[in-house]
Amino acid sequence: MITEKDKQFIKHAIELSEKGMDSNAGGPFGAVVVKNGEIIAEGFNQVTSSNDPTAHAEVVAIRKACEKLNTFQLDGCIVYTSCEPCPMCLGAIYWARPTAVYYACTKEDAAEIGFDDHFIYEEIDKNIENRNIKFINLDREEGRKVFKKWEAKEGRIDY
Amino acid sequence: MITEKDKQFIKHAIELSEKGMDSNAGGPFGAVVVKNGEIIAEGFNQVTSSNDPTAHAEVVAIRKACEKLNTFQLDGCIVYTSCEPCPMCLGAIYWARPTAVYYACTKEDAAEIGFDDHFIYEEIDKNIENRNIKFINLDREEGRKVFKKWEAKEGRIDY
């Protein structure tokens, strides 16, 4: 059930995508985070202007929303984004755990105008040895010792 | 061909994973970015201490490396991480485009101590309608108008 509010928020995310592009902040992507029917944070892509490859609209908006709410979890929040999230942003969304995501363009639309979203989705599905960027496993047992210590850590904060 | 330097850098990433955990910055994960045989940036997980669900070790290290190099691309860089990247960090790596990634623990090791990496990898593979977080498509045609404008934009910076 799509409401008038949903339409308004996705429209705002699309407006942000245009605003970011027009101001040369980065690519044409915008996002907002909503809680209890109110926008609590918004963002647009700032990759090229801030020299930060992680500054996608969703990441920017999620980081701001968490800062505002003083938490690392977006319980009860909804993300509206002008485009289906890339794998990085999808991961960020899963770690932040909002209730739902509304998106306008698809990842195929993003690929059509030259963005790597689709390519990265394909790379994720490849066996780690066959990826375009070389992945090499090294010193696993040493790493696992720290993991064991985490398991036994008193008063640790899970996330 | 794994070199002594590689062993040294992965060891440092593992040390950072322990340092971050011991200082209650966040989960037991560390990463370094190396260029021309020198560490240019390092990071450990700071999710719970900074209220930022995107502050994974790799994201922290990539953001710092890009800031230092004054670019949004990690050409010729190598990432050493104490654990196989989660989908968010894998995406961040693909957007930053380093040459290679060395990792110690696997995503199965991370799942074993309670981290969602494996779950998120499974979610990515699901059809978008069947995901655990609800994804709803809305207003695609309006979003695509901005994409068309991007395609026609003069002097745009691709990334």
The confidence score (pLDDT) of residue A19 equals 98
What is the per-residue burial (b if ≥16 Cβ within 10 Å, else e) of A17-28? Answer: bbebbeeebbbb
The confidence score (pLDDT) of residue A85 equals 97
The confidence score (pLDDT) of residue A43 equals 98
The confidence score (pLDDT) of residue A78 equals 98
Q: Do A90 and B88 touch (CB under 8 A)?
A: yes
Chain segment B40-91, per-residue pLDDT in tens = 999 999 999 999 999 999 999 999 999 999 999 999 999 999 999 999 999 9
Question: Given CB atoms, is A89 within the 8 Å cutoff of chain B?
Answer: yes
| Alpha-carbon gap, residue A23 to A13, rounded angstroms | 15
Q: Which of A58, A122, A129, A151 is catalytic?
A: A58
Q: How far is CA B39 from the centre of its chain?
A: 17
Distance (Å) from the alpha carbon of A139 to chain B's nearest alpha carbon:
5
Is A1's pLDDT higher than 90? no
Contact B46, B55 (CB under 8 A): yes
Chain segment A108-155, per-residue pLDDT in tens = 999 999 998 999 999 999 999 999 999 999 999 999 999 999 999 999
Q: Which residue among B52, B83, B146 sits closest to A143, beta carbon to beta carbon?
A: B83
Average pLDDT over residues A65-89: 98
The confidence score (pLDDT) of residue B1 equals 87
As a whole-number percent, the residues of chain A with pLDDT over 90 amount to 97
User: Chain B window 6-45: which residues touch A at a Cβ cutoff of 8 Å?
Assistant: 6-7, 10-11, 14, 17-18, 21, 24, 26-28
Is A104's pLDDT higher than 90? yes
Contact B77, B49 (CB under 8 A): no
| Average pLDDT taken over every residue of chain A | 97
Give the closest residue to A159 by CA, choosing from A66, A96, A110, A82: A96
As a whole-number percent, the residues of chain A with pLDDT over 70 amount to 100
Question: Given CB atoms, is A111 within the 8 Å cutoff of chain B?
Answer: no
pTM of the entire structure?
Answer: 0.97
The confidence score (pLDDT) of residue A144 equals 98
Chain segment B109-149, per-residue pLDDT in tens = 999 999 989 999 999 999 999 999 999 999 999 999 999 99
